Structure 1
């Protein structure tokens, strides 16, 4: 009986979703060469090319288009069978740190799925700046932390790459003011240095306001058109809008959303939470 390797199928699905071998490798936590080899092995098994490559990147070939939905279904079914047969007997506690701006809609579906599947695990959540959370992990006060760091110098376990964008009030005009009022959640915000560097590189007059460690204050000030802010594109909250190029604000660098783990042997509950995080992001 002929069978398909689920590891190869998972690599194929992630590459198809991300449209990049490099980004897929980051999500799968393997080298780009390993992903390329896995795709080549699957193509050899199926007898044809799964992707077409051009100057814009990669896209699904006809064979890949036929395989994609079925591969997703097989991976989902595998997860369902595993959960039904094995069940969840995990116990213990997991201490997770999340930046202020990711603690809402971005992380909520992941934590909801984890808690529902592992009712005996006590999950505690701490919010802070990325710098503060990484320090807590290094001290052993947190088991895991999701942090934001410039993609060019990222040291954590990359979960995804996202655009750092300027945001303002819907229909607002704060971006026209001189000096430009900028609100970031905290003085230790990971976005602070690249935002300042970008503004100074444009010779734009600016002033920093409302960096008091309170996300709701920053959101309220920006939503009231008293300032602009920088946010990851995937986490821009309702009521704020991404400013277009017509705002004439400088480009901001891409950021990595990364995972950092405490030293030592991770608990089974922490390992399972990491699996849930990867699974959700791979499917999103």
Structure 2
């Protein structure tokens, strides 16, 4: 029976970086190594598993079948490694922190990150404040919340970029609202971060439209879309399964937006700093 061998997590990080980017040079920047070092790490993994993990297709690196098998397990092992290191190094925090999160990000992106934080720091009370990005930015300045996520078209001076995502048109599965004229569009209220992008794209394309369901919360919007009464603009990563993305080319393309983390200009408590770290690392692991 052959002796068991340990897997160096650094090799897996290089492997995932190459798989995600498709290029050695880009992956090297992600893991902060030289291109040659990344290439050697991939070769070490292939030697360890006695198989090819990538196909070289022109200047792109594509996963082989064996590479696809490894990908999910590699991500799982890296996440477990980081979780253990984080928990063992973490100080014992207690207290309360007020976190702002835009309506569309609360349900789709935050639960797994907040769960990890709760498990690591059970004595910290996190109060979620959900509102539009514009309103949350104002509440942060007024000291009503300690830190907040924002969806914006450009990065602010105190923002930490978490994710770049594009807006997409969304409607009911199999619906025909997209073919009606004037086009019925569910818009957020005047402070909605996506409202201007949607209006600008439709106006530029010369499409006649009318506003339906101008509210700040998402549940009425979801109900309107599921009833095939209108379409709406969402970040591609926040589209719920009960709705579908409208194919490109049918309606005008929408702009990209940034998801950022903004902290209080007056400073943060240690508890808020720890939550901010969990959010940044959670987005890096799960969504970027």
Name the CA shift for 1:53/1:261 in 2 (closer, same or farther; >3 Å). Answer: farther
Name the CA shift for 1:73/1:239 in 2 (closer, same or farther; >3 Å). Answer: closer
Gaps of 5+ in 2: 1-6, 46-53
> How many angstroms does 1:41 deviate by?
7.6
* 1:28 match: none
Count of equivalent residues:
268
Name the CA shift for 1:81/1:202 in 2 (closer, same or farther; >3 Å). Answer: closer
Q: Whose radius of gyration is greater, 1 or 2?
A: 2
Name the CA shift for 1:211/1:75 in 2 (closer, same or farther; >3 Å). Answer: closer
* 2:148 match: 145
Name the CA shift for 1:183/1:71 in 2 (closer, same or farther; >3 Å). Answer: closer
Alignment match of 1:219 (pick from 212, 219, 222): 222
* 1:249 match: 251
Alignment match of 2:266 (pick from 264, 267, 272): 264
Alignment match of 2:201 (pick from 163, 180, 198): 198
* 1:79 match: 83
C-alpha distance in 1, partners of 2:19/2:146? Answer: 30
> How many angstroms does 1:154 deviate by?
2.7
C-alpha distance in 1, partners of 2:11/2:77? Answer: 11
> How many angstroms does 1:73 deviate by?
3.0
> How many angstroms does 1:282 deviate by?
2.6
> How many angstroms does 1:46 deviate by?
4.7
C-alpha distance in 2, partners of 1:19/1:34? Answer: 10
C-alpha distance in 1, partners of 2:17/2:269? Answer: 30
Alignment of 1:88-237 (within 5 A): 89-150=92-153, 153-155=154-156, 156-237=159-240
- Asked if 2 retains the 8 angstrom alpha-carbon contact of 1:186 and 1:212, the reply is yes
C-alpha distance in 2, partners of 1:47/1:226? Answer: 51
* 2:48 match: none
- Asked if 2 retains the 8 angstrom alpha-carbon contact of 1:140 and 1:263, the reply is no
- Asked if 1 retains the 8 angstrom alpha-carbon contact of 2:15 and 2:42, the reply is no
Name the CA shift for 1:60/1:271 in 2 (closer, same or farther; >3 Å). Answer: farther
Name the CA shift for 1:60/1:273 in 2 (closer, same or farther; >3 Å). Answer: farther
1:189-215 alpha-carbon deviations (Å, 9 max, x no partner): 111111111101110001112112121
> How many angstroms does 1:269 deviate by?
1.7
* 1:29 match: none
User: TM-score, normalization: structure 1?
Assistant: 0.78
- Asked if 2 retains the 8 angstrom alpha-carbon contact of 1:162 and 1:232, the reply is yes
RMSD across aligned positions (CA): 3.6
C-alpha distance in 1, partners of 2:223/2:211? Answer: 15
Name the CA shift for 1:198/1:276 in 2 (closer, same or farther; >3 Å). Answer: same
